[in-house]
Chain A
Amino acid sequence: MGNLNLILFISIVAPLGMMLFVYKGKTRTSLLFLLVGIAVCLFCGELNTALYQAMSFSRKYYTVNIAPLFEEFFKALPIIVYAFAYKPERQKLLESSVSVGVGFAILENAFILSKSVDSVSVFLALVRGFGAGMMHGICTLAVGFGIMFINTKKKLFYSGTAALLSVAVMYHATYNSLVQSPYQNVGFLLPLSTFVPLIIILRKKDIL
């Protein structure tokens, strides 16, 4: 069958990548970070496979306590590089942050749903699509929020971003823990109950 992750990656990235030559400005930047998020997911997928085989932890322990650490760190990396190199305005930085998270969720969902062909359904696709998409989006948005201070309050940036990254890791771990437990439905509701109010508050405060 070949590497399913890579096959899915190519089939998603190729058509979207062509649009980079069509779009301009902020739209192109958001699309670029969406593609970066998809690439980060591919990388983290391979890394998680290798590390899981090298470590002696159970699958449940690994997916809750180890995988979120690496995934959130590598999702934050492109945003940190972008902020340092280009010093973008706040709106652009936050949009790019969310795009990385959503891109990550796209490939992750495609892989998970294609591996569960026997049990997959429209309902499951809706739940994973919105649940994982919002969850990954919130995590990268939190980190992007901390990175906002990179130019204005440098002393806050380092410790504040690290603290927000810790919060993002725990949020991700909470989601992974719940969706693998008998309380799966609570897990799927968690991103919905945080993403929607968060976006409303950020829009009200004119931050996003």
Chain B
Amino acid sequence: MEIFLSISAFIIAAAGFLYGTFRLFKKGKPLYFQILICAVGCYAIEELFSIITIVCGGYEEPITVGMLGIFGLDLFLFSANYGQLDKIVDDGKDKRAKFLALVAPIIIFFAQIFFFLFGKNESAFTRITLILINLPSIPASYYNLKHLLLKNDDLGFLKATRWCNIMALAYYVFSHVFIFIYEIGNPLAISLASVMNVIPILGLSIAATKGADLWAT
């Protein structure tokens, strides 16, 4: 069952990555959206590694290097919003957006602490590694929410990136819901949650291509 879920998730994420690559990796397309497609690619690689792990017989530890895909995804999302977009759209005047955006990283931070303290009987090595892997999502979520809360700029960059930020935040929510459902242990719920996890990833790819078209106008 697990391999079918991983294959499904990989196919969906890979389709999003290939679609985004075909549409956006051309001359003149904004780097911001290309970085988002790289984030989608990281998720696809993570699912591919899960498939290979299962096919090759699995390992005794639940932590595998494939989880770096999630680390890479969060870093690319952070890179896009902080590195590329923030200096263009934030002139420093909107203090309200800056303050309210702290809600996202605070929620993620406390969710991570909750899982660390009350999670299943995994080893300390597993729990600490999971926290480290999800660490970049904390600053990344701040910039995603901030760019949603900022008033639209004259050049339309925030409008073009709105759905990208919504999909990124949806991914953070779904991934933490997945961890919570995993902790409960209901197999059917875990299956559904793992497929739901990939929907915002596909949405991110579509939002990036639509956003790039809007950016150009």
Asked if A173 is at the interface of the complex by the 8 Å CB criterion, the answer is yes
Q: Are B49 and A174 in contact (CB under 8 A)?
A: yes
> Please, how many angstroms separate the alpha-carbon atoms of A160 and B35 in the complex?
9
- Please, which residues of chain B bring their CB within 8 A of the CB of A153? 83-84
Q: Are B82 and A65 in contact (CB under 8 A)?
A: no
The 8 Å CB contact of A163, one of B38, B57, B60, B61, is B38
Given A57-B61, A58-B60, do A160 and B66 touch, yes or no (CB 8 Å)?
no
Most buried by A among B35, B46, B59: B59
Q: Give the contact stretch, choosing among A28-36, A87-95, A175-183.
A: A175-183
Interface of A is mostly: helix
Q: Give the contact stretch, choosing among B69-77, B103-111, B163-171.
A: B69-77
Q: Are A60 and B76 in contact (CB under 8 A)?
A: no
Interface of B is mostly: helix
Interface size class of A (residues with CB under 8 A): 20 to 34
Interface bits B49-87 vs A (CB < 8 Å: 1, else 0): 100110111011101111011011101101100111001
Q: Are B56 and A159 in contact (CB under 8 A)?
A: no
Interface size class of B (residues with CB under 8 A): 35 or more
Interface bits A101-134 vs B (CB < 8 Å: 1, else 0): 0000000000000000000000000000000000
> Measuring CB to CB, which residues of chain B are less than 8 angstroms from any residue of chain A?
31, 35, 38, 41-42, 45-46, 48-49, 52-53, 55-57, 59-61, 63-66, 68-69, 71-73, 75-76, 78-79, 82-84, 87, 136
